[in-house]
Amino acid sequence: MTSLLVIIVLVLLAVALWQLTKIFDLTQVGSNVDSSEVATDKDNDIQGYLMFGFLAFIYIFTIYGLFTWGPLVLHTPASAHGGEIDFLMNITWVLIFIVQAITQVLLHYFAFKYRGKQGQKALFFADNNKLEAIWSVIPAVVLAGLILYGLYAWTNIMFIDEDEDTVVVELYAQQFKWTARVAGEDNVLGKANVRYIEGVNTLGVDLADPYAQDDIVVSELHIPKGKKIHFKIRSQDVLHSAYMPHFRAQMNCVPGMVTEFAFEPIYTTSEYRELPYMIEKVANINAIRTKKSAALVAKGETALDPYTFDYLLLCNKICGSSHYNMQMKIVVDTPEDYKAWLKEQTVLAEQVKAAATPAPVEGAMEADSLKVKETAATSKVVMK
Ligand SMILES: [Cu+2]
């Protein structure tokens, strides 16, 4: 509602301004003002210098942006291949900066130099093969180099050695949450199909498949440091994108097929939290939160929790209304901690069995009625 009012006010302001200029034009009628629509030398000079003004604006804004928002970029990559992606990204940035610096100066300088002058005629200049060859060949060579290097890096990153000792994990995307399935001791994921989705078996794992017996389904994923994690990615409904920015990993999730990505984490969560840049970043975020909390508490609301860093799996494809909130926490453990975590988990097959066994009648009744209430509450929230 407020935004509608703001838009109406803005439109009315624009109309008022337009009417004012009309009145101003009317007041000029009859006075000794040049009303010709042809540009004079003075007009052309002003336009020429404005070109330099705009050039200065581009550079000042670029430098300002670099200093103001530069530190917000992702810093140290948390995966073995991450450095390669960052290098490719940095080369691309440097090239863009060089090309932009040269071409913008030339563009604006020539617009100034050849600004209109009374009595000056344009020179007819058909073509210049040498010049055209230069500005075609240089970009072609540079771009071909960049693309070839990119292809080389991508092939390197995407190569998964089937014989290598990896940890196989399934990432399952649906509107609007992630679920992970760890392949368990045999390190092979059991077959899955939407037709098997029922009750706690939300991923549709085929429990008749021997490989599925030790599969573990979790909503917070733990992975070990120093070992390649082989992700097999599925989607239940629409296109999603599995995005793990700190690991420089992203792969589309396509309904009806399995896509893959693999990387090796090189920092545990607690190691990454201790990186100097992360300590500074978290301190900055918490300074902002403390300020906001003070304002909230003054209004009688609850204060914000302090922020601690965690790796996240996000969705990077706009997949619906709650896309922004589609995320899963990823914890990178030391191999020992990972083993301990794995031991604590209950395999899906057992969860399904437990859900199928009827609980004592009284408790079950209570739990059921609670569930109904919960669903009613949830659907209300969704309806809003
Ligand atoms: Cu999504």
Token duo for residue 370: 């609670």
Cα–Cα distance measured from residue 101 to residue 137, given in angstroms and rounded to the nearest whole number: 19
Q: Which CATH architecture has domain 166-272+307-358?
A: Sandwich (2.60)
Residue 203: which of 166, 177, 229, 238 has the closest Cα? 177
Q: Which residue has the tokens 């130099």?
A: 113
CA of 233 from ligand 1 middle (Å) equals 12
Distance in Å, CA 349 to ligand 1 centroid:
27
Using the mean position of ligand 1's atoms as its centre, give its distance from the Cα of residue 313 in Å: 11
Instruction: Note the pLDDT of residue 82.
Output: 92
For the chain (length 384 residues), average pLDDT per consecutive 10? 90 94 82 71 90 92 92 89 92 91 92 86 87 93 93 90 86 92 86 84 84 88 92 92 94 93 93 92 93 90 90 93 92 93 84 74 47 42 39
Domain boundaries, the chain: 166-272+307-358
The pTM for the full model equals: 0.74
* Structure tokens given for 26: 């009317």
The pLDDT of residue 372 is 42
Residue 34: the pLDDT is 63
Beta strands in the chain (DSSP E): 166-174, 177-182, 216-218, 221-224, 228-235, 240-244, 249-253, 259-263, 311-315, 327-333
Distance 284 CA to ligand 1 centre (A): 29
Ligand 1 center from residue 297 Cα (angstroms): 34
Q: How do 228-235 and 166-174 pair as beta strands?
A: parallel
Distance 244 CA to ligand 1 centre (A): 13
- DSSP-derived pairing of the beta strands 311-315 and 327-333: antiparallel
Q: What is the pLDDT of residue 302?
A: 87
pLDDT of residue 35: 64
265/337 Cα distance (integer angstroms): 14
pLDDT confidence of residue 370: 44
Six token digits for residue 301 = 């609301």
Distance, in Å, from the CA atom of 143 to the CA atom of 149, rounded to the nearest integer, reads: 10
Alpha carbon distance 125, 117 (integer Å): 19
Q: How far is the CA of 375 from the centre of ligand 1 (A)?
A: 23
Ligand 1 centre to CA of 358 (Å) is 35
Ligand 1 midpoint to CA 227 (Å) = 27
Question: In sequence order, which residues have a C-beta less than 8 Å from that of residue 75 and are 6 or more positions away?
Answer: 275, 277, 278, 281
